[in-house]
Amino acid sequence: MTWKPVVATDEPQRRNNDSLTKYLDDDKARVETRIVALESSSVRLIERQKLAASAASVTLTPPASGYRSLEMVAHWQDASTGDLDLRLRFNADTAANYSYYSIQDVSTLAPAAVQVSSGTYIRVGTGYDTTYRFSVSTIKIPEYQNNTHKSLVHTSYNPRVATGQAAEVGGGIWHSTAAITSIVLSASTGNLASNSSFSLYGYPL
């Protein structure tokens, strides 16, 4: 038996077939447009560094164009003994061009706020030494290509400080109109421990 394709033999059936073909073509176009939109809005990994040995700092380099906002994830420990802060600077600027505000909630203490108006860095988390688990900090920098002052927000979790676990939320500003060409993350004292990792992501324009 030979199978033959069904061919419309009257005008109404042909119009129905034409309408179905047009609908399928339009639907395909809509799907392709949606895929392009999703790809352009999805976060993309720009750079990731994992320390093979302890280091005082890590430098991440954002692209000059193509992205609207940046996000960093730090998974880190202190290579020395005791507590330390994770500090952020832009373009290795060590002058007093930063201000920040953060609230830290320690499990065994009342929440405490820290405000610095003319600092040489922005604090974006606290950590402890390698006796305990890694701390986690997330940092978001919206509209990082703006020529006005650059602002950020951050959250962090420290599984062990001298007085218990700690969670922190805060924000800060770099009082400069310069373009961001590098982001430096450093330990307040000593070094960041080996196997600490730092990832930079971007949200495309």
What pLDDT is stored for residue 141 in this prediction? 95
What is the residue whose two structure tokens read 């706020």?
Answer: 113
How many residues in total does the chain contain? 205
Sign of the C-alpha dihedral computed for residues 70, 85, 171 and 148 taken in this order: negative
Q: In sequence order, what DSSP letters do the residues of 125-170 get, joined into one string?
A: EEE-BTTSPPEEEEEEETTTT-SS-EEEEEEEEEEEETTEEEEEEE
* 60: CB partners within 8 A, 6+ apart: 46, 47, 49, 72, 182, 183, 185, 198, 200
Please give the pLDDT value at position 130. 60
- Tens digit of each residue's pLDDT (9 = 90 or more) over 4-52: 555 555 666 665 566 656 655 665 666 556 555 555 557 899 999 999 9
pLDDT digits (tens, 9 = 90+) for 162-175: 566 788 899 999 99
Mean pLDDT (the chain, rounded)? 82
Distance of CA 8 to the CA centre of its chain: 57
Buried b (16+ CB within 10 A) or exposed e, 22-49: eeeeeeeeeeeeeeeeeeeeeeeebbee
What is the per-residue pLDDT across 92-101, written as a single tens digit (0 to 9) for each? Answer: 999 999 999 9
